[in-house]
Each structure stands twice: as structure tokens, then as C-alpha cells.
Amino acid sequence: MKYFLLSSLCFIVACQAPAKKSNELRQAKWIDLTYSYDSTTLYWPNNLTGFEHHTDAEGKTALGYFYSSYSICTPEHGGTHLDAPVHFAEGKMTVDQLPLTSITGEAVVIDVSKNALANRDYLVSVADVENWEKEHGQIAEDMIVLFRTGYGSFYPDREKYFGTAKRGMEAIAELHFPGIDPQATEWLTSKRKIKALGLDTPSMDYGQSKEFKTHQILLGQNKPGFENVANLDKLPATGVYVIALPMKIGKGSGAPLRIIATIGN
């Protein structure tokens, strides 16, 4: 009898757990952190092409029903997108090789907008993270870290977002937007053992970077990066869960990204 009661209790608990999880997902508040891909999508100034959307079919068919189909063309890196490790690290993972555990998980949002909006060449520092930790506690291992610089409010205004309205190679020297100090990237990956980095600017490295050290450090450790992330102002500092699913491009160095977040109750 005792065994029967214990077995029954275990069965009830096992059945309740999935139901509770399912209920939590239904009640979750989801925030879309993705910009739409269209004619306004911003790409690196020297990209030869931008987003292209072509109509292959649109309208009533001979049988009377509506049908539409379109073709798209886009560089890997532009709009809200993922940088795969192979982007700056030879032999590291491509987009399709990234495990789901690398692009989903708990996240923290660190607001550096006060300093970043006052200085277009601002570098997010270790001190920024340590100051955040004084208020919110130490960042746990395997976290996704998102930096809010405030520059998302400029998207898709090219001049305000990039620091220049110019296009082509001549624009590269005039790029001015914040990024993550390589020392902070090294500290986050070694001392806090984060799983991914993201922010609301065109690049993890600041606009005047020549060597893209933050890219080299982060991606060199087979950790992905998220760029041009939207709506970070809608997220709290903690209690965030992120799902960042890129287009699964075989051998891709990057890909358009649909990234969403839910806020814990």
C-alpha cells in the first residue's frame, strides 16, 4: 500500500510539472528584439548590396484563389543578426553548427546609455559591469549579456546610428558608435564565463575599431554575438530569458536573427 501511494504521488508530480511549465509559457510576456528586414534595414557601409525583396507571384490565380510568393536576397551581416564564431575565428563553429544551448538562456541587461549617448566612441568597460553587479549581484555562469547603449533609438536613421550617412569604403573612417572594450570582453568570458554577447549598435566593436578585438576574443571562444538588437529598453536588468534563433545557413559566418525575450514573473 505504501509503495502504491508513493508511486501515485510521483505520477501526479510528474504530470503536474509539464502542465505548470506549459501554463508559464502561455502566460509569459514576450518582447521582440528584432528589426524587420525591409528597405530600411541597415548594413555595414561597404556592403555591396542590401536587403532585396522581389515579387515572384502575387494576385488571383486562374482558379480564383489568392497566391503570393517572393524571393529575398541579403548579406549575412546586417539588421538584427548573429555573428557565428567562424566570422572572426578560423576553424570555429559556423551558424548551422551552433548548439541551441549557445543561443538560448537566461540573460542580463546592462544599461550603459548615460555614458554611451554622451560619447559616440564609448567603450563598455569592466567597471560598467562591476557597477551593475553592485546593484544586481554577480553575473552567473552561462548567461547571455546584453548591453543597452541607447543607440537603438536611432535605428534606422543611418547617420544617427552609424555616425555618418556616407556609404562605401570612405564611410568606414567616419563610423562613430559605442562598442565593448576588448578588456571587458576578455573579463566577461574568463571571469564570468558568459555564453553570448549582444547590444543595440551595428557592431560589438566600436565604430573606430580597426582590429575588431572584441569579435576576435568572443568568437575565438566559440561564443556567438548578437548585433543591432532592438527594444532593449523594454527589458529589465534581470529575470530575462532569451531565445535567439538565426536562419540556419550552412557554413554561414552570420545570419539574420529572430531574437525574442520573456520576462520572468
176: annotated active-site residue: no
Count of alpha carbons within 13 Å of 129, Cβ hemisphere only? 24
> What's the CA gap between 154 and 68, in Å, rounded?
33
The answer to whether 198 and 145 have CB atoms below 8 angstroms apart is yes
Helix, strand or coil for residue 114? helix
The catalytically annotated residue of 77, 81, 87, 215 is 87
Q: For residue 78, give the nearest of 121, 54, 49 by alpha carbon.
A: 49
CA 176 to chain centre: 20
Dihedral Cα 244, 248, 252, 255, nearest 10 deg: -40
Whole-number Å distance between alpha carbons of 155 and 161: 6
260 C-beta neighbours (distance < 10 Å), count: 15
CA dist 204 → 56, 85, 94, 139 (Å): 36, 13, 18, 19
Query: Residue 82 pairs with which residues in a beta bridge?
Result: 226, 255
Characterize the bridge pairing of strands 29-32 and 254-263: antiparallel
Question: Annotated active-site positions, please?
Answer: 87
